[in-house]
Structure 1
Amino acid sequence: MSPYRAQRVRDVDGNLSATLLEPNGVVEPAEEYLSFLQNIGRSWHTTRGYASDLALYFDFLDRKGIGWREVGMPQIGAFAAYLRGTNRAKPNTGLVLLRTAEPSRAPASIQRALTAVFGFYDFHADTPLADALTRSRQHRLDIRRYVSKDPRSVVAVKVPKKIKPCLSEEELVTVLATPARLRDRLLLATMGLNGLRVGAALGLRHEDIRVRKGELAVVPRDDNANNARAKVARRSGLAGPGV
């Protein structure tokens, strides 16, 4: 079992955040980066996800006997291969993937883990890997054209674009009629008829809904009592048959 684990915490102001723990306490380099994400306004869901990804990364380094400051691109490539051969719920380092087999971990999950690691090294800019990334970016800026690939793109995972399935009117009616509680029906109707994510729906307030105009506003807020957060950077308006 991995000695590293992400844990949900609350900061001094009572806001939700996440941290990375090991048997001896907090992993300080990761804690500094996660606190930085929280301070610049990143969603706590993002912070929690990155904490889980860094738990995988630090566990990988422990297995290899590598210090986090000693990492270069070869080790990042090995980490990407490790992610492809393991599953987030039940890591299995001995798993051998056949060429025709699908990876145990979704491409989007692998890419997010790599993004979390690169962001971690961007924050700790005094490491060899961060220096290599900076030199690569500066090289492209100096010559003002693409000559060599960004080191990130070498290990980047291609995430297939998928069109998410939509419910037909008959299927939506069936879904809305299934819950016994009216509160649950209202939540599903608000989401289904207006195309809302659950975070946006749970974060709605009375002032966001203008029934006479048939309008509904999705407003990102950090002070919702239920910790719901809309996945939008700024206020947006919707209008649909469900409003």
Structure 2
Amino acid sequence: MASTQRVAMSEGVTWTVLGEDFRVAEPVEQYLEYLRSRDCSPNTVKSYARALALWWTFLERRAQAWDAVGITELGTFVGQLRRGEVAEEVVVLHGRTRMADATVANRARAVMGFYHYHAARGVEVAGRLYETVRARPGGYLPFLEHVARRTGRRSSVVKIRVRTKPVPVLLPAQMAVIRDAEASWDAAGAVWSGELRYRLLWTLLEETGLRLGEALGLRHCDWKTGTGTTAQVEVVPREDHPHGLRAKSGHRRVFIGSALDRLYGDWVWALCEAGADVELDDWDNAYIFCNLRRGPRFAPLRPESVYKHLGVRKKDVPGLPPHMTPHWYRHTHATALLLSGVPMHVVSRRLGHADIQTTINTYAHVTEDAELRACADWQKITRTWGSRHEG
């Protein structure tokens, strides 16, 4: 079967796909190189490579040329994905756990992206897997539809419906209890006791909606302390993080409150007391979240260490959801902003989404539920009829 292969390059780590003969699947590699040229993250390339390795396995086992497929082959592939049979030597007859619709959709999207790329390169069969859709008069027109009104939009012939699930969120009390479990302020001694580093991390994720990788990639020069102005954190795209972390959505500024800014100041003071100001040659480019006891002192903290620490906290602190991850803070941040009436486009910019449609697809249920709840007070609504009629 085809497989994904990790490749170490001077620019970092990437992934490619090998066929049954252990040679690089050239058409797939061309598409993956296109993704790299668009500055897609290594994790995105890895995810697409895994999906395309399954597709290549499907083709090789059927002795099917990649540029001689049609809708029938794609439909069969999607069916095998759902049943988990693409890479199986023997197809079992008894029932098995179905693959999640979202996972099937993501893998099918990678395959269709592969053919969309080759259609642009002039591969005839790839072009037949897409259709030109023109807007019908009187119908709903999506955003910027006028741009494609004359030539139409290219749409994949393979469409997989995915039931949207509400994103998980944390309650204010849950976020407060984990903060207090990490570190508490001793008023008598005027010092913090506990894990101030993690209290700062959870507070930062809660207040900014940053991804964990973005937070762990912050350097001291990225934190602009408020000096008569509103404090802010800059998310800066870089390619040199020792653990491969990077800003997924490019450069952006996220404004923060004074309490979080003071907490960062306390953490800087704690680092200096630990000797960071003496040991670090370049303070500005040192990472904010760093090792103190394990590993090289003041080296950047690993995401695995954060997940391990959170696992311990979920056992020690009552009331925390057992499946909670750091990404729940991002969902909670977006949900809280939308419920408070912040416009969708502002939330999208704060989260760093490249396309507002991503924000809409993920959090549309928040505003919809709020609008539907507003209809619950039927008596209040009907009372306005009379006042409008009298006016």
Q: TM-score range by the shorter chain?
A: 0.7 to 0.9
Match of 1:173 among 173, 176, 181: 176
Q: 2:6: which partner in 1?
A: 8
* Structure 1 CA distance for aligned equivalents of residues 5 and 74 of structure 2: 24
Cα deviation, 1:27-54, whole Å, max 9, x if unaligned, reads: 2221121122112211111111000000
Note the C-alpha offset of 1:112. 1.8
Contact 1:88/1:105 (CA < 8 Å) preserved in 2? no
* Structure 1 CA distance for aligned equivalents of residues 245 and 208 of structure 2: 17
Contact 2:234/2:251 (CA < 8 Å) preserved in 1? no
Q: What pairs up with 1:47-58 in 2 under 5 angstroms?
A: 47-58=45-56
Query: Residue 52 and residue 92 in structure 1: after superposition, are their counterparts in 2 closer, same or farther (change >3 A)?
Result: farther
Match of 1:69 among 67, 73, 83: 67
* Structure 1 CA distance for aligned equivalents of residues 113 and 33 of structure 2: 13
Confirm or deny that 1:162 pairs with 2:165: yes
Q: What pairs up with 1:73-222 in 2 under 5 angstroms?
A: 73-86=71-84, 93-94=91-92, 104-125=98-119, 126-133=122-129, 136-137=131-132, 150=155, 152=156, 154-176=157-179, 177=181, 182-212=196-226, 213-222=230-239
TM-score (normalizing by structure 1): 0.78
* Structure 1 CA distance for aligned equivalents of residues 196 and 29 of structure 2: 42
Task: Compute the RMSD of aligned alpha carbons.
Answer: 3.4
Contact 2:67/2:123 (CA < 8 Å) preserved in 1? yes
Contact 1:17/1:48 (CA < 8 Å) preserved in 2? yes
Pick which of 162-171 and 196-205 moved more. 162-171
Contact 2:133/2:152 (CA < 8 Å) preserved in 1? no
SS in 2 for 1:18: strand
1:174 aligned partner, one-letter code:
V
For structure 2, the 5+ residue unaligned runs are 136-147, 184-193, 262-391
Match of 1:227 among 234, 244, 263: 244
Query: Residue 227 and residue 60 in structure 1: after superposition, are their counterparts in 2 closer, same or farther (change >3 A)?
Result: same
Identity %: 32
* Structure 2 CA distance for aligned equivalents of residues 166 and 40 of structure 1: 32
SS in 2 for 1:105: coil
Contact 2:134/2:152 (CA < 8 Å) preserved in 1? no
Number of aligned residue pairs: give it. Answer: 231
SS in 2 for 1:155: coil
Note the C-alpha offset of 1:56. 1.0
When Rg is computed on C-alpha atoms for both structures, the one with the higher figure is: 2
Note the C-alpha offset of 1:185. 4.4
Query: Residue 46 and residue 173 in structure 1: after superposition, are their counterparts in 2 closer, same or farther (change >3 A)?
Result: same
For structure 1, the 5+ residue unaligned runs are none
Note the C-alpha offset of 1:95. 6.2
Query: Residue 161 and residue 139 in structure 1: after superposition, are their counterparts in 2 closer, same or farther (change >3 A)?
Result: closer
